[in-house]
Each structure stands twice: as structure tokens, then as C-alpha cells.
Amino acid sequence: GAGVSQSPRYKVAKRGQDVALRCDPISGHVSLFWYQQALGQGPEFLTYFQNEAQLDKSGLPSDRFFAERPEGSVSTLKIQRTQQEDSAVYLCASSTTGARAFFGQGTRLTVV
């Protein structure tokens, strides 16, 4: 596609509900990143994939957060038993090796 696509754009979840956020990277981009951006803050790194391999998940805040990229293209970030502190914008980015990252528009998650 023309850019990184994320869906849904907005998600409201009740506390305790599971959510799944989808990222379609730019075709051919090997690297894929997930970031979490709280209101008024800069994005914070969550996890990184190179093709289907998850090489770094050091930023995932708890074991309720899980990300996958089974075929090295589309990625899903899953949050189990959502809490209010999970409310944030979740940004996905993709890149070719050694090149700058292209960001999607993000998914705004609100946990009520």
C-alpha cells in the first residue's frame, strides 16, 4: 500500500476486555515497530519485529501485552484484560533495514 495502515482508528474497550490492534506495514518493509503514546507524551517503544521474528519486546509493559507478525507482514498487538492505564495511542511503524521509519496514523484506545 501507499503507507502504513492501522485499524481500527479508534477503539473503546470496557475494563477487562481484550483488544486486538492491526498494523499493515508498507509492502516489502522488513522491520516493524509498535509504540505507545500517552496523552501529551512522546511515543515509547514497545516491540520490534524483523520479518516474523520478534527481536525486541523489552518495552511491553506487562504480560497482558502480546504482539505477533506470523507471516512477516501484517502485525497484531493484543492487550488482554485492558486496564485504564492502557488508554493511549498505539503507533505502528515500518522500515527497510537501516532506513528511516514510516509511521501509521495510530489507534486511539480508550479504556472505560
Partner 1 sequence: SQQGEEDPQALSIQEGENATMNCSYKTSINNLQWYRQNSGRGLVHLILIRSNEREKHSGRLRVTLDTSKKSSSLLITASRAADTASYFCATSADQGAQKLVFGQGTRLTINP
* Chain positions contacting partner 1, by CB under 8 A: 4, 31, 33, 35, 41-45, 48, 50, 55-56, 91, 93, 95, 97-106, 108
**86 in Cβ contact with 27 (< 8 Å):** no
In the DSSP assignment, the letter for residue 10 is: E
Pairing of strands 102-103, 5-7: unpaired
CB of 31 or CB of 75, closer to partner 1: 31
Rounded to a whole number of angstroms, the minimum distance from the CB of residue 28 to partner 1 is: 16
- Provide, rounded to whole angstroms, the least separation between the CB of residue 62 and partner 1: 16
Q: How far is the CB of 31 from partner 1 (least distance, A)?
A: 7
Q: At closest approach, how far in Å is the CB of 16 from partner 1?
A: 27
Pick 8 or 16: Cβ nearer partner 1 = 8
Tell me whether residue 80 or residue 108 sits nearer to partner 1 (CB atom).
108
**Which residue reads 519485529 in cell numbers?**
49
Of the two residues 82 and 94, which places its CB atom closer to partner 1 in the complex?
A: 94
Q: Is 2 exposed, middle or buried (0-12, 13-18, 19+ CB in 10 A)?
A: exposed
d(CA 78, CA 81): 10
